[in-house]
Amino acid sequence: MNAKKYSATSMDMAQLLREVQSLRVAIKKTQKQCMAQWRPHIRQRSFLASASNLAAYLGLRRHDLRQMQCRLANLGLSSLGRSEAHVLASLDAITHILKVISGKSLPTEKLTLSSAAMEGAEDFLKRHTRQLFGPPPPRRWARIMVTFPREAASDYLFVRELVVRGMDCARINCAHDDQASWQRMVEFVHQAEQETGRSCKILMDLAGPKLRTGSVIPGPAVIHLKPKRDLSGNFTQATSVVLDGSGNPGRPAERDGLGRRAPARLAVGAEWQERLQHGDVIRFADTRNRQCELIVLNRISQNEVMASCDASAYLRPGLELEYSHSKKGAPALTVIGDITSQPQPIILHQGDVLMLTRAPTPGEPPKMDEDGNTLIPAHISCIQPEVFNYLKPGHRVWIDDGRIGAMLESLNDEGALLRIIRTRQEGEKLHPGKGLNFPDSVLNFPALTEKDLHDLDFVAVHADMVGYSFVQSADDMEQLIAELAARGGKKIGIVAKIETGMGLRNLPEIIIRGAGRHSFGVMIARGDLAVEIGYARMAEIQEEILWLCEAAHVPVIWATQVLEGLVKQNFPSRAEMTDAAMANRAECIMLNKGPFVLDAIEVLDNVVEKMQAHQQKKTSQLRALHW
């Protein structure tokens, strides 16, 4: 804002003082109105002062204060830009100083009281953060949360290393795996705490009414063996394949959640593979009738033999494998058994048509004629068909965290016809189980699904915190609190995940109902929220959530795509490093799962430690610089 030049005169000073006093009166009126509505829902007396400050902050922010801020700043006074945690105390301090500047006598005790009130208000946030997350680690205040991959249920050393490198809270996503896996994850965390002496809380995240795409027809049951080649196409390294005689189906090569590569597996006859020896040559003709060879390397178990292939080959069930080393009576031939088919991706480009179906029919790519014209458009189902009751033509639809944008053109008994309006130039692959967002549609789904209620039985016993997905209203919060009480979970912490426009609009009421009875925090779930409100508003809105939560002295979790490039690809972008530095203004920062998450914890730990010397919430810390 371009502020007009301002020179203070006695008359101007008196006018500014009157304006500040008038503002305080208006704030107190709003505060009184809000507290009259909120007081019956606050059972924790320790939260009353925080709720009162939140009410005052709402009153403050209902005014455009920019001109007043400039006039105060030009006098060298607080511009109210850092008053979130102590609204009335900040106004009182300004009022006292303006009176002194105007020549009025004022007992110094009043300034001392305002200063003490501001210092005490900032302690509330620290206290509430400790209640939710436990004590902070030695060198930093912000905690680090890590989302567990499924491998955390079977690899204790991985969980222990997460704790050693700085994980302060483990997030278990109830949308994945099962209670047996969660039990092992919880046990591993507690074991790691005991061995390392570090505290690590457990957040269990309810799945909620997440809308997702349904299944897709499987692709061909084929395994492609791909040796490595240089830029000129010359062979550089053979690819590995396991010959498995256990009776399990074969599958293509893949990587697990920790980035470990698992080679392709071929189902073969048990007696046949038992006789394989190091150096045996296995010959076969692949699906293209190309003659190929496998070389037996070593036996890795009674039912498994490792082999290598130095040529590209496509294999399908029924192909014959023959090895040259054959003892008397040993079968020289076997047939490749079943292969687990992978879902066939639907490739979409801008301008394409996609039918979102009501019936749970497996999705398929479009059917085309010889000239490339679409005969039948691509289709995929929505796993919650009741969503169609809330849709209308012209509504936007975002798929897979906004990677695919569409406009709803029409509705019929089959479903919704979507026109694709945004993809990358090369197109996007649509897979099963991807998120669906309908930002223009008012969806009236229960906040707690039947699965959530079942999962709460486990969560109430084993978790320190429960993540409330897609919470949208005070009534939603009341429902969770009632369900926790019925399961003896009155002491469990609640984290409200703000990921819809309605949840954002109702955030003050959600905070009051949650923090009024439980230790409480707010997660800025930037993935779904950005899709719902639009990416252009995300930077602005995440700031507003931080301010509102600071006013309520409620800790915040900064989530989604933090150091994503480092976690997934072992190389962060410059923008991601800046984002991680800015995340220090939250009380907890969440890393997603990925093969390089251990490295990401170390980087984030270092960034946060350094940034807390420069930044405390919105306040710059002016430590000495290096030049």
How does pLDDT run across 237-269, given as a tens digit for each residue? 889 999 999 999 999 998 877 777 889 999 999
* 4 token code pair: 């007009």
Kindly report the number of other CB atoms within 10 A of residue 616's CB atom. 15
Looking at domain 346-437, its CATH superfamily turns out to be PK beta-barrel domain-like (2.40.33.10)
Q: Return the pLDDT at 5.
A: 45
Average of per-residue pLDDT across 428-432? 94
Query: For the whole model, what pTM was predicted?
Result: 0.89
Mean of pLDDT over the chain: 91
Q: Are 223-335 and 346-437 equal in CATH topology? A: yes
User: Does the structure show a pLDDT above 80 at 329?
Assistant: no
How far apart, in Å, are the Cα atoms of 116 and each of 113, 322, 421, 518?
5, 85, 56, 27
Kindly report the number of other CB atoms within 10 A of residue 340's CB atom. 14
Give CA–CA dist 181/377, Å, rounded: 40
User: Does the structure show a pLDDT above 90 at 25?
Assistant: yes
Q: Return the pLDDT at 408.
A: 97
The answer to whether 162 and 601 have CB atoms below 8 angstroms apart is yes
According to CATH, what is the number of the domain 143-210+444-613? 3.20.20.60
The answer to whether 297 and 278 have CB atoms below 8 angstroms apart is yes
How does pLDDT run across 390-400, given as a tens digit for each residue? 999 999 999 99
10-38 vs 48-60: helix axis angle to the nearest 10? 130
Give CA–CA dist 125/544, Å, rounded: 17
Residue ranges covered by each domain of the chain: 10-123, 143-210+444-613, 223-335, 346-437
Average of per-residue pLDDT across 40-61? 95
How far apart, in Å, are the Cα atoms of 386 and each of 121, 389, 409?
46, 6, 18
How far apart, in Å, are the Cα atoms of 453 and each of 171, 483, 484, 610?
19, 8, 10, 42
Q: Return the pLDDT at 624.
A: 62
Give the closest residue to 525 by CA, choosing from 550, 504, 547, 555. 504
Bridge-partner residues for 224, per DSSP? 314
User: Does the structure show a pLDDT above 70 at 175?
Assistant: yes
If you classify domain 223-335 with CATH, what class do you get?
Answer: mainly beta
The answer to whether 521 and 495 have CB atoms below 8 angstroms apart is yes
Q: pLDDT tier at 102 (50, 70, 90 boundaries)? A: confident
Helix (H) or strand (E) holding 460: helix 450-462
